[in-house]
Amino acid sequence: MTLSLPDLTKNQSLVFETLSQAEAPLSAYTILDQLRSEGFRAPLQVYRALDKLLEHGLIHRLESLNAFVACRHSHKHQGTTVFVICGRCGDVDELTDQVVNDQLMQRAVERDFTVESAMVELRGCCGSCSQ
């Protein structure tokens, strides 16, 4: 991965690596289970690391699954993040769409609304599962 990582603590790096290698979104408890051999003991250790990684824009939280994924982009991105989530195999893809983002932000401005974060989750069936 060509990502230039901000200064991460050991715990943050471990959590980030776990998410980067995962094939599907992981819950905090799954991350904890995978990192017990690295000395993780309590959910709070995982949550603290996740909070920092979210702050750095290195990972995203999927609200509907209550799970986390590593960002697919090599640099911190802004605007609306669109997730495509397959309900059968659990595969998640991440897209950004400038047109969608601009339209959503425009609607917010019209309502005098300040957007702090924007995420769209598209749920359905991926190409390989629908074959």
Q: Which is nearer to Zn ion, 105 or 126 (CB)?
A: 126
- Taking CB under 5 A as the rule, does residue 92 contact Zn ion? no
Residue selected from 5, 44, 89, 109 as contacting Zn ion according to rule CB under 5 A: 89
Residue 71 binds to Zn ion (criterion: CB under 5 A): yes
Q: How far apart (Å, rounded) are the C-alpha atoms in residues 49 and 6?
A: 13
Residues near Zn ion (CB under 5 A), total: 8
Nearer CB in complex with Zn ion: 37/131:
131
- Decide if residue 73 touches Zn ion (CB under 5 A): yes
The distance in angstroms from the start CA to the end CA of the chain is 31
Tell me how long the chain is. 131
How many C-beta atoms lie closer than 10 Å to residue 49's C-beta?
25
